[in-house]
Amino acid sequence: MSKKKKFEIEIDNLIKSCYENIHLINKEKYNQYYTPITIADYMAGMFNNRSESINILDPGCGLGILTMATVKYLLKRSKIKKICVLMYEIDDIVISHLQNNMEELKNICTKKKVELIYTIKNEDFIFSSINLLKENNQKEYDYVVMNPPYNKMSNDSEHKKALKNIGIDVSNYYSAFVQLSCQMLKNKGQLVAITPRSFCNGKYFDKFRDSFLEIMYFNKIHLFESRKDVFDNEDVLQESMIYYCIKGQAKKDAIVKVFHSYNSTLDNIISTNILLRDIIVGDNKVIRLSKGKEEDEIIRCMMRVRCSLQDIGLDVSTGPVVDFREDLNVLHKNYIDGDQVILFPEHINNREINWPIIEGLKKFNYISTNQNNINRLRTNGNYVIVKRMTSKEEKRRIISALYVGNFYNFDLVGIDNKLNYFHINKQGINIDIAKGLNLYLNSTLVDSYFRTFSGNTQVNVSDLKMIRYPDIRQLRLLGKMYENELPSQDIIDKLVKDIIL
């Protein structure tokens, strides 16, 4: 490793001093997570520059860590003469410290005979950038570097309304920051961002992916093995990823460099080259990412599975019962005459339906029918049930169980909306087909494939429709391979391999 120059050491020390002031950031209010210095340097190193003058946008800059890392990169890697930076930070408490940091950075640049011009806006980035885009529609930035807020955006928020007025429809603050920033980039401008991976799939991000990929293309992507690898924080439930994108249209055979590491120290990075067209999949432009040869093989195996869900005449939906919206007197823990079955996630245990729960039940076992809820209940039959939410501690994301109608002497079954269920026209499925489907969904192949396009703990209906499925003959054959209890994981995987692959 080459010896660091004096200006690098000075900027490193300036960045390190930021961590002493991290407690000043209003984390709860603005959903802030500071960027570790190793990650900041790594992100800055993704940029490519041959210009003497660079304009940088840093929305949600915090104490300026990413900007400082980017300036250090420019001073180190190019014949830069002038750097202009626009920085947004809404947190009043941070501004004076940010101002001091930028003055220090400016002095370091001056010693290197580089002019640093910075503007700090203590404003809401969303409202401010919308006004800028409305006023002059200028695309003036060469670089965007960002670690935006991660929280969800409520449908009735002023931000949501303002964004919709300019044709942006997003469900999350980070996607709003990314989309607005992309619009402010010049043609061939470059964006480096660290955000959750959740935008890669799911219907909530369909419009965002469509808009984003229409004007930007991936050049580099970095994946992390665990949710804690970047921020080491229990509150971060989603996997994070870093991506370097360029504004414009990619070449036909464009290659994306995909990197993979196990922690924020970025030791032992594994890299692979993937065609861009193999990353963007389907009409919904799902972003499917492989961490290396093992996941490449999983994708190849899945592509050998024959059918879509539609091909085999099955459908999957989210459970229609929302317990807190039901009348208080219709949900019961213990049976009352006329009640029907209701299933909640807690009724799925060890890949089996455990109903009714006698002790320690948090939700309910039974639901009585009335005119308001009768259409939300399903005819008793055979359904394959999949949890929509899994905890970050669980080893699997796809957790499936078989509900066999004959086991329960009821006419109807209610399915909670934190569950997905496979059906035929909202009716049950043939028992052998249902058993085969349940075994397939519990295979390592399906769970591993799901992880190639989702870094989320949530399994959406759209995700389940993304998966390829065995044909009806294969499902029946799988279903005949066991009686009531699923076999061991090794046997499940062997059956899938022998019968389907």
Q: What are the residue boundaries of the structural domains of the chain, listed by start?
A: 6-253, 310-499
What pLDDT does 18 receive? 82
The percentage of residues in the chain with a pLDDT greater than 70, rounded to a whole number, is 92
Taking the C-alpha atoms of residue 423 and residue 351, their distance in angstroms, rounded to an integer, is 18
Locate tokens 């414009």: which residue?
248
Q: Do 6-253 and 310-499 have matching folds?
A: no
| Contact in structure between 278 and 245 (CB atoms under 8 Å) | no
Residue 243: what are its φ and ψ, rounded to 5°? -140, 145
**Section 7-30 average pLDDT:** 74
For CA atoms 326, 327, 330, 331, the dihedral sign is: positive
Say which DSSP state 426 is in: T
Q: What is the mean pLDDT of the chain?
A: 89
What pLDDT does 138 receive? 62
CATH class of 6-253: alpha beta
Confidence class for position 453, pLDDT limits 50, 70, 90? confident
What pLDDT does 23 receive? 58
How deeply is 335 buried, as exposed, middle or buried, from its count of CB atoms within 10 A (0-12, 13-18, 19+)? exposed
Which tokens belong to 156? 């009735």
What pLDDT does 375 receive? 96
What pLDDT does 92 receive? 87
SS3 294: helix
Name the strand (E) or helix (H) holding 57: strand 53-58
Confidence class for position 335, pLDDT limits 50, 70, 90? very high
Which tokens belong to 70? 């980017």
Tens-digit pLDDT profile for residues 23-76: 555 555 555 567 888 899 999 999 998 889 999 999 989 899 999 999 999 998
Tens-digit pLDDT profile for residues 211-265: 999 999 999 999 886 555 565 554 555 678 999 999 999 988 999 999 988 766 7
Residue 262: what are its φ and ψ, rounded to 5°? -100, -10
What pLDDT does 234 receive? 47
Tens-digit pLDDT profile for residues 357-372: 999 999 999 999 999 9
CATH topology of domain 310-499: Adenine-n6-DNA-methyltransferase TaqI; Chain A, domain 2 (3.90.220)
Residue 76: what are its φ and ψ, rounded to 5°? -90, -30
Tens-digit pLDDT profile for residues 291-321: 767 777 888 899 899 899 999 999 999 999 9
Residue 433: what are its φ and ψ, rounded to 5°? -65, -45
Tens-digit pLDDT profile for residues 135-160: 766 668 999 999 998 888 888 899 99
User: Can you give the pTM of this predicted structure?
Assistant: 0.79
What pLDDT does 364 receive? 96
